[in-house]
Amino acid sequence: MFNIIRYEIQTTMRQAYSWLTPLLFFMIVVTLFPLAIGPDEALLQKMAPGVIWIAALLATLLSIGNLFRADAEEGYLDRMLLSPHPLTLLVLCKVMSHWLTHCLPLILISPLLGFLLHLPPREEYVLIVSLLLGTPVLTLLGAIGAALIVGIRHHGLLLPVLIMPLYVPVLIFGTGALTAAALQQPITGYLAIMGAFMLLCFAFAPLLTGIALRIGVNQ
């Protein structure tokens, strides 16, 4: 698993546009809101949870569509399907490497963007924890949709239509945790539910992605 993840990370790092595009998109979307709304600190604090989470969701959606595309074009995906190793394990390694290269930079830059939106320290902490719990769910669910459309060349908006409804609960509880933190309410319930989402996705999403890959390749 370590060798596969290291290979995937090295391959992604050679293609700077692959991981820089979602990061720059995330930063641009968040930084444009203060410019459009104005310097109203109270309004920015109120809108910050939704702004940051929607930007993270869209940035993940922007990158997840190409998760298996290059592998399918280069024939590496066929080797994965014919490999003696469990396909579920190979998919999990690929999803983990994608999260490390595409989602982890978003989480690392989010405190700075939260400071831009005047988030207090407690909300900054909740923001980081909620993104750490929520972005793996976005990646794992997105991998299922990416696998289903891997055999379709001009899929257009098919991927967002497939997986956006699955993203809604993560968005609700992610923003809800930040809103509760802002109102000095308990946040453990929100984080516990997001943690349950993450564990559930780790248990079933790689298996479903492997099944979807076999369906998508045969289209």
For residue 129, is pLDDT > 60? yes
Identify whether the C-beta of residue 119 lies closer than 8 Å to the C-beta of residue 45. yes
For residue 138, is pLDDT > 90? yes
Q: Averaged over 8-29, what is the pLDDT?
A: 85
Residue 89: burial class (beta carbons within 10 Å; 0-12, 13-18, 19+): middle
For residue 141, is pLDDT > 70? yes
Q: Averaged over 84-90, what is the pLDDT?
A: 88
Q: Across 58-62, 72-76, 130-134, which has the greatest mean pLDDT?
A: 130-134
- The reported pLDDT for the residue numbered 177 is 92
For residue 125, is pLDDT > 60? yes
% of the chain surpassing 90 pLDDT: 41
First-residue to last-residue Cα distance in the chain:
29
d(CA 99, CA 85): 22
d(CA 98, CA 106): 12
For residue 136, is pLDDT > 90? yes
Q: Summarize pLDDT for 181-198 with one digit per residue, the tens.
A: 988 899 999 999 999 999
- The reported pLDDT for the residue numbered 154 is 65
d(CA 203, CA 199): 6
Q: Which residue has tokens 């290291």?
A: 6
Q: Is 1 helix (H, G, I), strand (E, B) or coil?
A: coil
- The reported pLDDT for the residue numbered 35 is 84
For residue 165, is pLDDT > 80? yes
Work out the pLDDT band at 155, boundaries 50, 70, 90.
low
How much is the mean pLDDT over the chain?
A: 87
- The reported pLDDT for the residue numbered 219 is 57
- The reported pLDDT for the residue numbered 156 is 62
- The reported pLDDT for the residue numbered 108 is 93
Work out the pLDDT band at 205, boundaries 50, 70, 90.
very high
d(CA 156, CA 149): 10
